[in-house]
Amino acid sequence: EVQLLESGGGLVQPGGSLRLSCAASGFTFSHSVMRWVRQAPGKGLEWVSGITADGGVTRYADSVKGHFTISRDNSKSTLYLQMNSLTAEDTAVYYCAKGGDASYVYYFAHWGQGTLVTVSS
C-alpha cells in the first residue's frame, strides 16, 4: 500500500523558513516523479513543485519560484520542500503527491494527508 506521510509544518513568522518532509513507503520511491500541492484555507488546490525520479529536473509554480526548493533523498525514500522568505500567502496545507507509474506519469496518483503551514506574527 502506498503511503505518503508529510511532516515539518507549523507556525512560522513572516520572512522565516521551514522544511517539509514527505516519507514514502509501499512503492519504489526512486522510480517515481513526486510533487507538492498546497491548499490555502478555504481555497482550491495549487500545484507548487515537481521533481523527477532521479532528482535531476525540478519545476516550480511562478508563485514560489526563487523561494521554495524541492529535493529528494532516494536512499531515505523522502521528499523535501525547503521554504524560505515565507509570507502570509504561503499559509496552506501542503500535500505531497506521487506521480503515476512508468506507463503513465501525468497525474497525481497518490496523496499524503498534508501538513499545515501557518505564516503569522
Partner 1 sequence: QTVVTQEPSFSVSPGGTVTLTCGLTSGSVSNTYNPSWYQQTPGQAPRTLIYNTNTRSSGVPDRFSGSILENKAALTITGAQADDESDYYCVLYMGGGIWVFGGGTKLTVL
State which of residues 29, 32, 35, 92 lies at the interface with partner 1 (CB under 8 A): 35
Contact status: 108 vs partner 1 (CB under 8 A): yes
Listed ranges 13-21, 24-32, 76-84, 104-112: which one lies at the site for partner 1 (CB under 8 A): 104-112
Binding positions for partner 1, 60-79, rule CB under 8 A: 61
Buried b (16+ CB within 10 A) or exposed e, 76-108: ebbbbbebeebeeebbbbbbbbbbeeeeeeeeb
Size of the site for partner 1 (CB under 8 A): 22
Q: Which stretch binds partner 1 (CB under 8 A): 13-21, 22-30, 56-64, 82-90?
A: 56-64
Among candidate residues 75, 76, 116, the one with its CA nearest the CA of residue 95:
116
The residue within the footprint of partner 1, chosen from 11, 57, 88, 102 (CB under 8 A), is: 57
Q: Which residues of 38-72 are buried (b: 16+ CB within 10 A; e: fewer)?
A: beeeeeeeebbbbbebeeeeeebeeebeeebbbeb
Residues that bind partner 1 (CB under 8 A): 35, 37, 44-47, 50, 57, 59, 61, 95, 100, 104, 106-114
